[in-house]
Amino acid sequence: MVKIIIIFNFFIFLFFNKNVLSLDNKYKLEILKSNLSSPWSLTFISNNQILISEKTGKIKLFDILSNKITEIDHNLNVIRDKNSQGGLLDIYFYNNQVLISYSEKIGDKLFSPSTTSIAKADLDLNFLHFENIFRANPPIRSPYHFGSRIAIHDDYLYASVGERGKGMIAQDANQHPGSIIRIKLDGTSPKDNPHYISKETWLPEIYQIGVRNPQGMSISPFDNKIYISNHGAKGGDWFGEVKKGENYGWKILGWGGTNYDNSKIGPKWLPGFTKAIHYWVPSIAISAITIYDGNEFPEFMGLALITSLKDQSLRSLDFSDLDNVKEHIIFKKDIGRIRDIKIHPVSGKIFLLAQDKLWLFEKK
């Protein structure tokens, strides 16, 4: 009898709690915070505190236990144009420092060019004084395709830089747009980057070229490799590995997609170019990714978790056998466009930024 009452009360709670969304008989989603302004990224600074970057230019501190959110002032010169894809982008906490990628306006004129930049600051919850450690050159007058995600591996910072809608610039390693960069945390270039080993014409910071608009990046704790997601044009989104000195082929390759006028871009893949692990045609507008390692979801262990914007889905990707990649849709169109995904460092529960909300994804 007691068991029946407990189960009844649980379902009453779910029914009347509008912040909780039940997914089949295994999972649930809960709104932790609403009314965010175009949230782009989150990072844990402790087990109970999260920093959130908003595309519109604000950095917020969210306390999970108190449910309190506060704004932290900063000194970044961020594009705040609502018609631009730029703004504050990825935020990443590491060794008591906050690193951020953002769309930096170069100059103070109305139509000044802009670029993808990376800055760092010592953690200060009153004011974050950032200093640039990387700026993609050249600055370009374009509101499109800034990227950009950050990952830190063995004290090296990897970041994705979009090609700003300029297509073949991604094949020019004398320019940063359309590349994956690798730098030290002080902004200098490692001496084992491609420029110093075999590709003298490449800029010193460039690690890989030929990407279009990569908005996901994650380090796998299982094989220590770095994986990225990349937007195609009309179709041709992909998930793949970061590989030193290689070329993903944009805009020679179209990865199965076409231009927006339906004209052909190029083949899906050609010998001599990096081959992605998995493609989506038509596009799902792939965004953030992570390789799951946690206690909450043993069924996801070692899988890539893929979020999307247009498709509004969370998917798992088993790529342990590259000849037989298995994809599964966990949920779709339940919480809107999903921009970021992070795993709680202790519980293994999943935190998602979607639309204007922070969501918690967990087992029932």
pLDDT score of 3: 46
> 216 near 286, Cβ under 8 Å?
yes
Supply the DSSP symbol for 169: G
Q: What is the mean pLDDT of residues 271-294?
A: 97
Q: What is the DSSP letter of 273?
A: S
Is residue 4's pLDDT more than 60?
no
Res. 112 pLDDT band, cuts 50 70 90: confident
Q: For residue 103, what pLDDT is reported?
A: 95
Q: How confident is the model at residue 293 (pLDDT cuts 50, 70, 90)?
A: very high
The percent of residues above 90 in pLDDT, for the chain, comes to 89
pLDDT value at position 1? 52
Answer whether residue 14 shows pLDDT above 50: no
Helix (H/G/I), strand (E/B), else coil: 306: strand
270 vs 6 pLDDT, higher one = 270
- CA-based nearest residue to 157, from 239, 233, 97, 83: 97
Strand pairing partners for 322? none
Query: Which pLDDT score is estimated for 43?
Result: 98
Residue 42 · residue 358 · CB < 8 Å: yes
Q: What one-character DSSP code corresponds to residue 48?
A: S
How many Å apart are CA 175 and CA 197, to the nearest integer? Answer: 18
**Of 58, 20, 19, residue with least CA distance to 38:** 58
Laid out side by side, the sheet with 338-343 consists of 20-23, 27-33, 357-363, 350-354, 338-343
Contact 134, 99 (CB under 8 A): no
Residue 2: which pLDDT band, with cuts at 50, 70 and 90? very low
CA dist list (Å): 257 to 197, 262, 268, 325: 34, 9, 8, 20
Dmax (CA) for the chain in angstroms is 75
- Mean pLDDT for the chain? 94
- What would the mean pLDDT of 53-71 be, rounded to a whole number? 97
pLDDT of residue 135 exceeding 80, the answer is yes
**pLDDT, mean of residues 253-279:** 96
What are 302-314's pLDDT values in tens digits? Answer: 999 999 999 999 9
Band (6; pLDDT cuts 50, 70, 90): very low
Per-residue model confidence as pLDDT tens digits over 196-236: 999 999 999 999 999 999 999 999 999 999 999 999 999 99
Dig out the tokens for 361 from the structure.
């994804």
Query: What value does the mean pLDDT take over residues 25-54?
Result: 96
Task: For the chain, give percent helix, strand, coil, nearest 5.
Answer: 5, 45, 50
pLDDT at 18: 67
Spell 289-319 as b/e; 16+ CB within 10 A means b. bbbbebebbeebeebbbbbbbebbbbbbbeb
What is the per-residue pLDDT for 81?
76
pLDDT attached to residue 179:
98
State the DSSP H helix or E strand holding residue 9, giving kind and residue range, or none if neither: helix 2-16
Q: Considering only CA atoms, which of 178, 189, 308, 196 is closest in space to residue 248? A: 178
Residue 154: phi and psi, rounded to 5, are: 55, 40
Q: What is the pTM of this model?
A: 0.93
Q: Note the pLDDT of residue 189.
A: 98
Exposure b/e, 132-146, CB count within 10 A at least 16 = b: ebbbbeebbebbebb
**Could you tell me the domains of the chain?**
20-363 (2.120.10.30)
User: What is the mean pLDDT of the segment spanning 258-278?
Assistant: 96
pLDDT of 17: 58
Distance of CA 39 to the CA centre of its chain: 12
Higher-confidence position of 45 and 19:
45
Q: Across residues 258-271, what is the average pLDDT?
A: 95
Q: What are the pLDDT digits (tens) for 151-177?
A: 999 999 999 999 999 999 999 999 999
Question: What local confidence, expressed as pLDDT, does residue 22 receive?
Answer: 86
DSSP 276: P
